Amino acid sequence: MTMSQRQVLQVFETYQKARTQFVQMVAELATRPQNIETLQNAGVMSLLRPLLLDAVPTIQQTAALALGRLANYNDDLAEAVVKGDILPQLVYSLAEQNRFYKKAAAFVLRAVAKHSPELAQAVVDCGALDALVISLEEFDPGVKEAAAWALGNIARHNGKLSQAVVDAGVVPLLVLCIQEPEIALKRVAASALSDIAKHSPELAQTVVDTGAIAHLAQVILNPDAKLKRQVFSALSQIAKHTVDVAEMVVEAEIFPAALACLKDPDEYVRKNVTTLIREITKHTPELSQIIVNVGGVAAVVDYLGDSKGNVRLPGIMMLGYVAAHSENLAMAVIVSKGVPQLAICLEEEQEDHIKAATAWAFGQIGRHTPEHARAVAVVNVFPKLLNLYLDTKSSEDLQVKAKKALKSILQKCTYLPALEPLLYEAPSNILKHVICQFSKVLPHDSKARRLFVTSGGLKKVQEIKAEPGSAIQEYINAINSCYPEEIVRFMHIYLTYKYLQKQHHTKILLKEYSGFNTS
């Protein structure tokens, strides 16, 4: 090798080293969010793009990695990636290059697709789907994981994109991925299936037809928490669409193993299990029956006791759905000590939507028969519901639900000690129902009559002003007719006496006050 040749080669070597260093430093800087703005302003995109086509494979891979990290950060950069026509090159090389490059290219695709549906559509339009499907068939689990993650990100946004992903024939490959031993791959495949199945019943049916449910059910017993999160999320997205699919999920014999996961230390695993149970019970009474028979209600009630905050919502809704189907099931919920737990939730939670859900659940439990209404009334929930209904700060949804729940429970409630406090505070539309119930119970029960008078309820009833001929007046007449006339007349006289006394007192007070003022 002559001197000049060596010198010439030296130049090229220096350039290569410089390129390698640049691309490695950019990749490292891109890991920290504060540098990315500066990088973007320095025009890093236009510099990285030609490096993707470099002759040296390491530089290509690192350039792709850097691009991926940049696109991951925010959607402006991702759009810049799309506008820079980088995607077709990546897609082409996905088919050709070695596995490190494939991983990096899939990482870029996933980072671009995750921000918005338009970007995901742009990724699909470059023909990335076929290339990703080919990558899914690779041996290396890292490549498969990156490809599956990218597909999941694409399918996440809307049904059309999901359909495009499914049409590329991805679902059987994802199901195969779940059976692989690597945990990260299983996680990503489960999350991709969940994203695909969540949009419509047809997509869920497609996922089910490839036999995904059996494999997902096998994975439930795995100890990894994040994996369980994804698996339960996938199962619940599948089961939420139709009765048939929900039945298939139940037939996979996930209960009672899923109930054991309700005691998992990870909060989101528990939440996803409860979501799954809720989606199953919401369809038909038979499915709810299955869940009740296997002891699911008790497990969910315990879960409500253990958790706090927003994660309680699926549990509360599940109890409401179970109780809504039939009065047997509502009685089963009551027997499993669901009502005291729901009362605790109503007290502790501050968010309006959780309180609305709890009120709705109470309504569903208590509306069937007097026994149910009694069970709800005993936990002293009426004053709280009334407060929620009357509170001006509650949202409209909460008010409507509280009112409906109160009305439906009151129409069946015969437990008088719980109805009495409502006499004093309720507005007229609720009061109507309360008085109606009193008028139904009092004629038959002498002890209740005695109690009614001594506790001052009769006095309060006389104070109510109602138009003659309206329903309330009829009920009041019915109540008055249970008692001898003298008592009713005495009540009237006593009340007028009290009223005049109050007026007299206020007159004296006003005199004193004005006297105090002037003096």
Partner 1 sequence: MARLEKLFSHLENIKEQYFLKNRIAEENRQRENEAAVKIQRRFRGCQVRAYLRHLHKNATLIQKIWRGFTARELFRQRVNTAYFIMKMNFYNKMAVKIQQRWRGYYVRKYVHNYYARKRYLEGVAKKNDLIRRDLEEFAELQKRERERIALEKEEQEKNIQAQRLHFLLSTKQCPGVFNSPFRAEPDEMELRLRRVKPRSAPKERKTPKMTPDLSNLMPNRERLPPIHKKPQGPFRPALEVQQQRLRPLEPSLRVATSITALEEAREELKRQEWRTRVIDQTFLPFSNASQNKRYESLIHTITPFEQVAYGTKHFREEPKECCQGKKPFKTVFTTCHVFDKFGRLYSNAGNIV
| Residues near partner 1 (CB under 8 A) | 256, 259-260, 262-265, 292-295, 297-299, 302, 328, 331-332, 335-336
Contact indicator for 471, 432 with CB cutoff of 8 Å: yes
Instruction: Please identify, using beta-carbon distances, which residue of 242 and 328 lies nearer to partner 1.
Output: 328
Contact indicator for 254, 294 with CB cutoff of 8 Å: no
Contact indicator for 372, 330 with CB cutoff of 8 Å: yes
Instruction: Please identify, using beta-carbon distances, which residue of 259 and 316 lies nearer to partner 1.
Output: 259
| Side chain identity, residue 95 | A
Q: By three-state DSSP, how is residue 65 classified?
A: helix
Instruction: Please identify, using beta-carbon distances, which residue of 205 and 326 lies nearer to partner 1.
Output: 326
Instruction: Please identify, using beta-carbon distances, which residue of 24 and 116 lies nearer to partner 1.
Output: 24
Smallest gap, in angstroms, from Cβ of residue 299 to partner 1? 6
Smallest gap, in angstroms, from Cβ of residue 300 to partner 1? 10
Instruction: Please identify, using beta-carbon distances, which residue of 137 and 286 lies nearer to partner 1.
Output: 286
- Count of C-beta atoms within a 10 Å radius of residue 504: 10
Smallest gap, in angstroms, from Cβ of residue 372 to partner 1? 12
Compute CA 345 distance to the chain's CA centroid, rounded to the nearest angstrom.
16
377 CB-near residues (< 8 Å, 6+ apart): 366, 409, 413, 415, 418, 419
Smallest gap, in angstroms, from Cβ of residue 373 to partner 1? 17
Instruction: Please identify, using beta-carbon distances, which residue of 42 and 260 lies nearer to partner 1.
Output: 260
Instruction: Please identify, using beta-carbon distances, which residue of 150 and 375 lies nearer to partner 1.
Output: 375
DSSP 399-445: HHHHHHHHHHHHTT---HHHHHHHHHH--HHHHHHHHHHHHHHGGG-
Helix, strand, coil shares of the chain, percent, nearest 5, are: 80, 0, 20
Q: How many residues can be counted in the chain? A: 519
- Count of C-beta atoms within a 10 Å radius of residue 32: 9
Instruction: Please identify, using beta-carbon distances, which residue of 308 and 498 lies nearer to partner 1.
Output: 308
Which pair of structure tokens corresponds to residue 82? 């799309």
Residue where the block lists tokens 């506790």: 455
Contact indicator for 234, 216 with CB cutoff of 8 Å: yes
Smallest gap, in angstroms, from Cβ of residue 315 to partner 1? 14
Q: From CA 24, how far away is CA 14, in angstroms rounded?
A: 15
